[in-house]
Amino acid sequence: MAEILFDHISKTFRYGFKRQTVLDNLTLDIEKGEVFGFLGPNGAGKSTSINIALDFIRADSGRVLIKGTQATDSNSRRNIGYMPEHPHFYEQLTPRELLEFGGLTSGMTRNDIKTQAGIILEKLELLPFIYRPVRTFSKGMKQRIGLAQAMIHDPEILILDEPMSGLDPLGRRLISRLILEFKEAGKTVFFSTHILNDVEMLCDRIGVLHKGKLLYCGDLQGFQKDSNTLEEAFVKEITDRSTR
Amino acid sequence: MLKNKSTIIFFVLFIIGISSYMASAVKVQALRDRLDPTQIVSALNVSPEVLKIASGEFASLLADYLLLKASVYLGGRDEMPEANQKTVSTLFSQSANLDPYFFQTCYFVQGYLPWWKGDYVKKGIEILELFNAHRDWDWQPGFFIGFDYFYFLRDNLTASRYLMEIAKRHEAAKSLGLLGARLAQRGGETITSIAFLKTMYERTENEAQKEEIARRIEALNGVLILEKGIEQYVWSFGHPPETLEQLTATGILKTLPKNPTRPNEAYLYKNGKIEF
Amino acid sequence: MNPIWLITKITFKEGIRNRILFGITLLALLLFASNVVLTNLFSLEVGKVMVDLGFAALSLAGLSIIFFLGIGMLSQDIHNKTVYMIVGRPVTRAQYVMGKFGGMTLLLFVVMLILGFLAMVSFGIGSALRPGATMPRNFSWVSLLTTIGFHFLSLLIVLSVSFFFTVISSSIYLAMLFTFCIYFIGHSLETIVKVLIKGEFMEVSPWYVGLMKGMSWLFPNLSAFDLKANLAYGLPYDGAYLIWTGLYGCAYIVIMFLLTLVIFKQKDLC
């Protein structure tokens, strides 16, 4: 069974009287233990897909299954750790309180949270700041808190929306390292990005999305076949489609 | 399964909510209708100056609102209880001070305050003075004041002063100036008073007050008849009659007019003068 | 642990540490201080003036909490997508709204408690500084608590209305405006209807009276919860009235809350 299954998903947004199709019959599955990169230019529908998988947005048709459970059932999110593109928190709370909230809602005990939080915050180099309210944090630090609360309950699936955007090279390396560690533990990572460098380094498989349609799904070599670099292949694929 | 369950819970709660809302809304409405207005509307015992400062640019809006609050008490023919009179007069005074141009307030003040017993005539005149000073193009506030001096305080001299003043303000009020001038003279007082009251009668909408003024006009008409009779008596006998009954006894009048303002419907007569 | 309670807790923590709350408390304190000063300006019925001022401070604080903290936090959650951090967990949207409402209720409750206590202290100081000043007639702690309790209930109604408008409108300012309108109408509609029905001075068409009566079904009658006059003048509290009014308030809140839930469940959080 697929860890995450997008089953014929379509979604149209309405802006006043205008309608815009964001996802057009998207079918995609992510297997257990793989790192899946979701590629596409801005506005391709990557975030919308992820939001549907987490039930922030309801699809017009089709369904998303997470380990066989419908995404509209809140229990499906028991196994998911999620980090949004721009994580926002309750600004007056401390990282400690945020992690406690995350852990408790995911059904952990206080003791488990304490040990787990210690490990994760250490890894993310946040330990010195755990008693400071989040409002005093820089963007990079907030991103790391976002990752920490996504991982606090040791989920089987990690869904990351643009995890590298706006980070400095050090931060990006930190997150890459964590994703690889996660993969080694036999878990699944699904992330969207438009930074192709990360994709080459991390992904087992990729999906390329453009204007709500899936152009390609498979391994990197297959996508890159007659181009020298991934970037070349990506640009070619997108412009081909746009002019066609 | 789960979805169905939560939908059912939702509908059950919704129906319970709606039905208890309906029931309690009706009940609360009924209970509140029984309440005395004082428990709904009360006047904050603050001087108008404080209100003016607090309301800033919304002063005239607040004035409208206070007048609206006062209107809750108004209406109906029953005598208003003393406590309510106090509240209403406070609200009127606050409203008038906040917006001394609003004629609605001025009209309500004249329609209520002077007709109550006690110091409310003076209080009413005090508020009307405010309107008289601000609405300097309008003859009505001054006319009301003049009427109050004449009718309630029996001060014809002051009344005539007001009437003559407002006559200067407006073309339509010229005739009132004439009234005022005649009011100041002793002679011809009755005809003037009748004309004055008739003008007021036309300007009043409250039925009870209209009736009262009409009774007074009727009484004055009676006075007019009596005065004519006395005049004729003096012309015939060289001195005024001792009692009014002498007018019918000598055949000058067929019957004595009735005085609707007295319970025994009679006029008081002393030393050739009618009092009522 | 129940997610509703967890959300209540973080909402409360987030609110209580917010700087706006300090501002509101400061404002209320100033009003209480002026209580001491202003009571000297009135010669009669000082007790009534103290009740008026004390409750004005409570109202002001409660309303500012609802408007700036309640509407502010909820719409920030939705528009900044802070809500993702909560509903991205195994939490249903119903649980989220309930928790959020619970947190704001708790916050209001605690603030009312503190300010109510401060109000009593300022009453105490005010009457001590002015010999001859007396507490309102028939004053008792039970009547004070009842009045504060019903005041609190009316604030909860405004809160539930504010949640509804925050969820349906796309802008925080619109939500504030709508909520304020409901608050204002809720306090004055009864007076307007009363004047209209008496109809002594106005020629009112029955159609218009009908419209107004219809509106009073739609809008909460907030003036029914105002027991200040009873407290200030020592009028008796009618048990049946309190029970029915309490039920009325709770029913209104439940209905508003369910409507909010239905809309929020359908809403795309993006």
Taking residues C206-222, report their average pLDDT.
Answer: 85
Check residue B263 and give its pLDDT.
Answer: 75
Decide which of B108, B135, B162 is a domain's last residue: B135
Mean pLDDT of chain A: 87
**Domain contains B9:** no
- Residue B184: per-residue pLDDT: 66
List the single range of A65-69, A194-198, B79-83, B216-220 with lowest mean pLDDT: B79-83
Domain boundary among B135, B164, B189: B135
Beta strands in chain B (DSSP E): 268-270, 273-275
Last residue of a domain, one of B88, B107, B135: B135
- Cβ–Cβ of C90/A105 closer than 8 Å? yes
Please say if the pLDDT value at position C40 is more than 70: no
Q: What is the CATH number of the domain that holds A115?
A: 3.40.50.300
The size of the A-C interface in CB pairs under 8 A is 84
| DSSP-derived pairing of the beta strands A205-210 and A213-219 | antiparallel
- How many Å apart are CA A46 and CA A191, to the nearest integer? 9
Residue C187: which pLDDT band, with cuts at 50, 70 and 90?
confident
Same domain? For B126 and B60 the reply is yes
**pLDDT reported for residue B220:** 83
- Residue B188 has which token pair? 């011809």
User: For position C240, what pLDDT does the model report?
Assistant: 87
- C209 belongs to a structural domain: no
Best CA proximity match to B200, nearest among B144, B249, B274:
B144
Q: Summarize the confidence of residues A205-211 as an average pLDDT.
A: 88
Closest CA to C143 of C58, C61, C229, C222: C229
d(CA C49, CA C109): 24
Question: What is the count of structural domains for chain B?
Answer: 3
The residue range of the domain holding C171 is 3-176+226-266
Contact B236/C at CB under 8 A: no
Name the domain count of chain C: 1
pLDDT tens-digit map of A78-103 = 889 999 988 889 989 999 899 999 99
Please list the residues that pair with A66 across neighbouring strands: A4, A69
**pLDDT value for B1:** 45
Residue C88 domain-assigned (yes or no): yes
- Residue B22 included in any domain: no
∠ at Cα A165 (A164, A169), nearest 5°?
A: 60
pLDDT in tens, B40-77: 566 666 677 777 777 777 778 888 888 888 877 776 55
Strand partners, A207: A38, A217
C87/A90 touch (CB, cutoff 8 Å), yes or no: no
For residue B189, give every residue at least 6 positions away whose Cβ sits within 8 Å of its Cβ, in sequence order, or none.
B156, B182, B183
A1 vs A66: CA distance, rounded Å: 10
Q: Which residue of B has its CA nearest to C53?
A: B44
Number of Cβ atoms within 10 Å of the Cβ of A73: 15
CA distance C215 to C221: 10
Chain A (119-148) residues lying within 8 Å, Cβ to Cβ, of chain C: 133
More confident residue, A56 or B267: A56
Query: Which candidate, B63, B49, B61, B56, places its Cα nearest to that of B108?
Result: B63
Cα–Cα separations (whole angstroms), residue A215 to A12, A185, A238? 19, 30, 9
Q: How far is B202 from chain C (nearest CA, A)?
A: 16
Flag whether residue A54 sits within 8 Å of chain C, measured between CB atoms: yes
Looking at the predicted structure, is the pLDDT value of residue C12 above 90? yes
- Which residues of C fall within a CB distance of 8 Å from A107? 90
Question: Distance of CA A5 to CAs A8, A27, A68, A161, A241, Å?
Answer: 9, 7, 8, 17, 25
Nearest C-alpha in A relative to C87: A56
CB neighbour burial string for C177-200, b if at least 16 within 10 angstroms, e if fewer: ebbbebbebbbbbbbbbbbbebee
Q: Which residues of chain B have pLDDT under 50?
A: 1
Q: Which residues contact B215 (CB under 8 A, 6 or more apart)?
A: B260, B261
Q: What residues of chain C lie within 8 A of the CB of A157, using their CB?
A: none
Asked if the model's pLDDT at residue C201 lies above 60, the reply is no
Nearest CA to A194 out of A212, A210, A179, A177 is that of A210
Tell me the residue range of the domain where B172 lies: 137-205
Q: Does pLDDT of A206 surpass 70?
A: yes
Residues of A in contact with C96 (CB under 8 A): none
Does residue A144 contact residue A171 with C-beta atoms inside 8 Å?
yes
On the question of pLDDT at C46 being above 70, the answer is no
pLDDT recorded at residue C192: 76
Domain range for A29: 4-243
Is residue B111 domain-shared with residue B58, that is, in the same domain?
yes
Domain tally, chain A = 1
Burial of B64 (0-12, 13-18, 19+ CB in 10 A): middle
pLDDT tens readout for residues C94-105: 999 999 999 999
Chains in contact with A, where contact requires at least 3 CB pairs less than 8 Å apart: C
Tell which of C5, C85, C97 to mutate to test the A interface (max A CBs under 10 Å).
C85
Residue B199 lies in a domain: yes
Which of C195, C229, C262 is opposite residue B42, by nearest beta carbon?
C229
Residue B212 is assigned to a structural domain of this protein: no
In angstroms, the separation between the Cα of residue C83 and the nearest Cα of chain A is 8
pLDDT of residue A123: 86
Instruction: Say what the pLDDT of residue C244 is.
Output: 92
B128 lies in the same domain as B153: no
Whether B57 and B122 map to the same domain: the answer is: yes
Other Cβ atoms within 10 Å of A205 Cβ, number: 16
Nearest CA-CA partner of C10 in B104, A154, A146, A95: A95
CB contact under 8 A, B10 and C229: no
Spatial CA neighbour of A156 closest among A37, A59, A30, A56: A30
The answer to whether residues B236 and B198 belong to one domain is: no
- Tell me which residue of A178, A183, A6, A154 sits closest to A78, measured CA to CA: A154
Q: Which of residues 115-174 of C touch B (CB under 8 A)?
A: none
pTM, rounded to two decimals: 0.78
Contact B48, B93 (CB under 8 A): yes
Condensed to tens digits (0 to 9), the pLDDT of residues C123-144 reads 777 777 766 656 666 677 788 8
ipTM value > 0.85? yes
Look at residue C15 and tell me if it is in a domain: yes
Q: CB A84 to CB C84 under 8 A? A: yes
pLDDT at B115: 84
Instruction: Report yes or no on C54 lying in a domain.
Output: yes
Residue (of C152, C160, C255, C192) closest to B25 by Cα position: C255
C-beta separation of C268 from A57 below 8 A: yes
